[in-house]
Amino acid sequence: MAGIELDCPTQAFIAGEWRAADNKQVFDVSDPATGEVIASVADCTASDAQAAVDAADGAQPAWAAMPAAARSAVLRRWRDLMVEEADRLADILTRENGKPLAEARGEILYGASYFEWFAEEAKRIYGETIPSPASDKRILVIRQPVGVCAAITPWNFPNAMLARKVAAALAAGCTMVAKPAEDTPLSALAMAELAERAGLPAGVFNVLPTTAPAEVGEVLTTSDKVRKVTFTGSTNTGRILMRQATGTIKKVSMELGGNAPFIVFEDADLEKAAEGLMASKFRNAGQTCVCANRVFVQADVMDRFAEIVRKKVAALKVAPGLEGGSQIGPLINAQAVSKVETLVRSAAEAGACIVEGGTRHAAGELFYQPTVLSNVSHEMEIAREEIFGPVVPLIAFDTEEDAILRANDTDYGLAAYAFTKDLGRAFRVSEALEYGMVAINDGALSNAAAPFGGVKQSGLGREGSSHGLDDYLELKYILLGGLGA
């Protein structure tokens, strides 16, 4: 390994121990801003995955039996360590993922907010009593942990997406084996180190870095000992994991792709709508599942709105994430850049106009210019595919019905946005949009108190909020009979 040493573990974390991979192999992690190798990490395979599942299975009964207040205290300590160490964690995150340092720090605090939330929810896993049809019987319902959970997490939020899974699972009394994305394993390993310091018992949380996601994923999705799989990533991979999980009838939660419509009505405050668009679209250089993917603008205000957005986009600072003031870092890898390049080129060939940007950026191989396209049509590939890059495609529409129809004309249903000052329209549109999450007059909807998740091919289940525990709990019905005098 060459390059900068990071203050971060690089071995797998299994059964409370830092271990080399069984086969002693390692893989390099590089900084997308510079291409420099920043760490060599244990490259786990099926045997490591099996060891991690066994460890999580062994730790499960004692963790589930621990009083909720004690589980809550560990999660709270873990959260406090995240906040104390936010600068170091942000540095690791920026180096492996590329996002600007301020955004990385924001992600660490966002991740910590899930620990805070679920540390509190751990104490509120209430049961029920149900009026019985017979006077000598009572019906009780208790909520118990599902068991061992496998988490497969993405590179775009290497801390927060893991945080909102592990915090909920552990609060519920489940144990977990996590497989972070190959591009960004370090943030997950840094989290494991904090778990150790927070006093988490051995085996409750395990982390498997790997360049063999299919092999490791297969162990996690087919093992009898794993009772639930939670995944954030592409719809295609989600489909494969769901198929694999059917063999042992596991619970699954899937947070998959999106194709978010961002609708600007003629009555909207255009300046605020443009600010909302910038917040939604350019977070993590457009590499989020919830970022505006199709920007529908009512024809009467299109020219004005396009010019406001163009000016804001032209002012964005594109630079390595560690450079002061950076707002747009590199994309994650070469495939990501060429996908964006191809989508922009094919839109331009089909008649879209490049109003701003439109090519790679001189800051480095993986940088792409923040781009605005006008005259985009709903049928173009760029409006059908998840762009996952810093590109705003502007599509004109005439009526409210037209906007809703086109917004819903996709297999996806994660997040949607609309800007309007008309309260009636705000309700009509939010109810008609076939999405799991709708933001009115706001471009940022993610927070720990809210249920995050999609409908249609954007996924199953909800993360965050009080509902975020449901997927990690089973209901048990207990009948108490023989109570007559």
Which residues are catalytic, by number? 255, 289
* Contact call for residues 392 and 367 (beta carbons, < 8 A): no
- Please report how close the Cβ of residue 149 comes to ligand SIN at its closest, in angstroms: 18
- Which one among 10, 156, 230, 465 touches ligand SIN, defined by CB under 6 A? 156
From the CA atom positions of the chain, what is the Rg in Å?
23
Q: What is the largest CA-CA distance in the chain?
A: 84
- Only one residue has tokens 């000016």, namely 311
Among 184, 223, 288, 410, binds ligand SIN (CB under 6 A): 288
94, 221, 232, 259: which one contacts ligand SIN (CB under 6 A)?
232
Near ligand SIN by CB under 6 A: residue from 13, 115, 117, 157? 157
Q: Which is nearer to ligand SIN, 115 or 157 (CB)?
A: 157
Q: Give the pair of three-digit tokens for residue 214.
A: 């299919």
Indicate the residue among 51 and 416 with the shorter CB distance to ligand SIN.
416
Interaction between residue 446 and ligand SIN (CB under 6 A)? yes
Q: Check residue 290 for interaction with ligand SIN (CB under 6 A).
A: yes
Segment interacting with ligand SIN, rule: CB under 6 A, options 20-28, 284-292, 389-397, 469-477: 284-292
Q: Quick check: 170 binds ligand SIN (CB under 6 A)?
A: no
Residue ranges of alpha helices (H) inside 199-234 are 213-222
Find the shortest distance in angstroms from Cβ 283 to ligand SIN: 8
Tokens of 8: 């971060």
Pick the closer one to ligand SIN by CB: 157 or 397.
157
CA angle at 67 for the pair 138 and 478, rounded to the nearest 5°? 15
By CB under 6 A, residue 108 contacts ligand SIN: no
Non-local (6+) Cβ contacts of 425 within 8 A are 265, 267, 400
Return the bridge partners of 17, or none. Answer: 14
Beta strands per DSSP E along 95-202: 128-130, 138-145, 148-152, 175-179
Expressed in angstroms, the distance from the first to the final Cα of the chain is 76
| Cα dihedral across residues 392, 412, 466, 208: positive or negative | negative
Tokens, residue 322 = 């560690």
Task: Indicate whether 465 belongs to the interface with ligand SIN (CB under 6 A).
Answer: no
184 binds ligand SIN, rule: CB under 6 A: no
- Name which of 9 and 258 has its Cβ closer to ligand SIN: 258
CB closer to ligand SIN out of 118 and 157: 157
Q: Which of 216, 289, 433, 439 binds ligand SIN (CB under 6 A)?
A: 289
| Residue nearest ligand SIN (C-beta atom) | 446
- Residue (of 459, 472, 468, 32) closest to 233 by Cα position: 459
Contact residues toward ligand SIN (CB under 6 A) are: 156-157, 160, 232, 288-290, 446, 452
